A and B are shown apart, each in its own frame.
Chain A
Amino acid sequence: MREQRRKDAVWQFTTYVFILVMTLVMLVPLYWMIVAATLPQEQFIQFPPRLYPGTAFFENFAALQERTDFVRSIWNSVFIAVVYTVLSILLCSMAGFAFAKYEFRFKEPIFYLILATLVLPIQLLVIPLFLMMSQIDWTDTFRAIIIPWLANPIGIFLMRQNMKSIPDALLESARMDGATEFQIFYRIALPAMRSSIAALAIILFLFQWDLFLYPLVILETSANYTIPVALSGLEGTQRVYYDQIMVATSLAIIPLAILFLVLQKQFVSGILAGSLKE
């Protein structure tokens, strides 16, 4: 018995050490990034490095802002991601509603066609989309970044799955009260989907937020750059401004990290919903 207790203690100790080490591994790069963003360049590149924050954040930020309008890029990214998320949710929930609650011809084949594209990597689309966008003169515009991805297969899949759980009797009684099909959709179906929509919103927002290859190809003028495109160009000049780069990465990472802390439940359900398989 004592032997067992000793073994348990060793096991528990090892588990704690493992968890603590992994927690440090996950947090240290972020801490180091923040420290670097608050130090003048000279202090950052010295060896051994300084490991606690300084006070130069706003000077670094001003220097960064002078060199490239990074705030503009943040605004671009937020604008694109928010507009995309709202429009895509509307589109996907409308279509998901139809697939869940109506009978129409070719319903099954159409749905499986959409579902089949779920496994395809989106990089597949970059070349043809680039040619199409050049053709209709949409390169270097936000609509070229937003519109092609609105019809999101994950979105329609999630919405269909969840809207199936709305009782038919509820819709039928609304119909008897004289509601039109559109009223039924946005007065009954949409409000009932609140938590699924929150999860989907996070999936869609992060998808657009992290989109890199496609905007890299489409966007040309730096005033239109999204955060990833602007960041990837930051170290391109002769001298590398590490302090400014770390300010930029901090501005890209920390707001989302805070959002994650606040909306953790929705993030987790978004991850789990995105990983659903039938």
Chain B
Amino acid sequence: MSTQHSDEETPVSSDGDPLRLRLWDRIRFARQSYTERMPQIESIAYVFISPFFLLFGLFLAFPIVYTVYLSFFEYQSVSSDSLFWIDIGPIFIDVPQIAELQFVGFGNYAHMAGDSLFWQSMFNTTYILLIQVPIMIGLALALAIALNASFVRFKGFFRTAIAIPVSANIVAYSTVFLLLFNEQFGFINYLLSSVGVEPIAWLRDEFWARKTIIAAVTWRWTGYNMIILLAGLQNIPQQLYEAAEIDGASRWEKFRYVTLPQLKPVLLFVVVLSTIGTFKLFAEPYVITDGGPTNATITIVQYIYREAFQNWNLGYASALTVVFVAIVSVISIIQIKIGGDD
């Protein structure tokens, strides 16, 4: 398409020299490129984005809308009926109705208010994240600062060792923690017994079961956050520390007045990322405690899973999902708001 011009419409040339003709053509062609060839480039863009956008629409945008729709219904069964069909001669497209549903209005949302297990799962998730996120970010920050200190040797080794859990499969590491915290032969109780502490019933006690989940998640994600914070620390201009040193600032003052303010955006980002991450917790309680004992560790996503795929209340589970996503979105928006101030 882009070569059609040369053969058709440039027979006129001052001296008829074919070589110069071609050169002239090329110059004119280049000049045209940003204006006349624009429509052509535009249409090729649609070719480039259409595979992505087709899948995006079908498997991301549509399901989101459908979840909201589903949350106003009670699920009956999978449906084999057609929702509608398109019949244009040789082309026949049958779009099936996805499920047999019964409209209940805001019934699912109203039901949530009196659902004690829903509130229990909200409480558990909040409880876990309020303890887990500060501990993890504190450790990650301390590690990042320690591994950024000029006097520390073998930084590469320590950084690698501490970051290695980021490669651990979620279910696999949860399984390891399940056995690590085993009451009879787990390594943790062995450690405790070697310093004279009675074995703890980690998974049978409400208080300790939550702590087990917290320990597991912290193990998996501390290195991850350390990597992000370390990158943030390395972006702080060294002159700021030199200036503080000239002013006679102590170690604490340098941390308080240089590191912390400079790191604030990254730190906030990491906090929000972790908060959302812990809010979405599923595999760890599913594997380690199965939500127990007496639902002390059941998280929101786990409750949604149970309602949807064990009790088959897909409508109610969708309503729970909508609330869950709303909360996550609010956390994200707060992040953008706070991040935007800097």
Contacts and interface: CB of A to CB of B under 8 A. Distances in A.
Which residue among A26, A95, A260 has the maximum number of chain B CB atoms within 10 Å of its CB? A26
A209 B170 CA distance: 9
A245 B175 contact: yes
B51 A91 contact: yes
Contact of B67 (A11, A124, A257): A124
B240 interface: no
Contacts of B139: 22
B49 A119 contact: no
Interface string A223-266: 00001110110110000001001101100110011011100100
B48 interface: yes
Given A22-B143, A36-B179, A114-B56, A175 B33 contact: yes
Nearest to B279: A121
Given A131-B99, A242-B179, A97 B231 contact: no
B305 A213 contact: yes
Question: Would you call the interface of chain A mostly helix, strand, loop, or mixed?
Answer: helix
Given A103-B41, A275-B228, A119 B332 contact: yes
Interface residues of B, number: 100
A95 B283 contact: no
A94 to B, nearest CB: 5
Contacts of A228: 169-172, 283
B84 interface: no
Question: Would you call the interface of chain B mostly helix, strand, loop, or mixed?
Answer: helix
A243 B242 CA distance: 55
B152 A33 contact: no
A49 B64 contact: no
Interface in A71-128: 91-92, 94-95, 97-99, 102-105, 110, 113-114, 117, 119-121, 123-128
A62 interface: no
A125 B60 contact: yes
B324 interface: yes
A12 interface: yes
A66 B335 CA distance: 50
A43 B6 CA distance: 83
Which residue among A102, A217, A248 has the maximum number of chain B CB atoms within 10 Å of its CB? A102
A222 to B, nearest CB: 15
Contacts of B227: 268, 271-272
A210 B169 contact: yes
A6 interface: no
Contacts of B169: 209-210, 227-228, 231, 252-253, 256
A135 interface: yes
B49 A94 contact: yes
B30 A176 contact: yes
Interface stretch (A13-21, A52-60, A190-198): A13-21
A188 interface: no
B321 A127 contact: yes
A25 B194 CA distance: 17
B3 interface: yes
A245 B96 CA distance: 42
B308 interface: yes
Interface string A1-33: 000000000011001101100110111111011
Contacts of B280: 121, 123
A213 B284 CA distance: 11
A257 B162 CA distance: 12
B321 A148 contact: no
A18 B44 contact: no
A217 B301 CA distance: 13
Interface in B305-330: 305, 308-309, 314, 317-318, 321, 324-325, 328-329
Contacts of B146: 15, 18-19
Interface of A: 11-12, 15-16, 18-19, 22-23, 25-30, 32-33, 36, 44-49, 91-92, 94-95, 97-99, 102-105, 110, 113-114, 117, 119-121, 123-132, 134-136, 147-151, 153, 156, 172, 175-176, 178, 181, 185, 206, 209-210, 212-213, 217, 227-229, 231-232, 234-235, 242, 245-246, 248-249, 252-253, 256-257, 259-261, 264, 267-268, 271-272, 275, 277
11 contacts: A19-B152, A26-B223, A29-B219, A120-B329, A147-B55, A148-B60, A151-B52, A176-B26, A178-B3, A231-B172, A256-B168
Please list the 6 inter-chain residue pairs (A to B) with the smallest Cβ-Cβ separation, ordered nearest first.
A128-B63, A95-B52, A102-B45, A98-B48, A228-B171, A148-B59
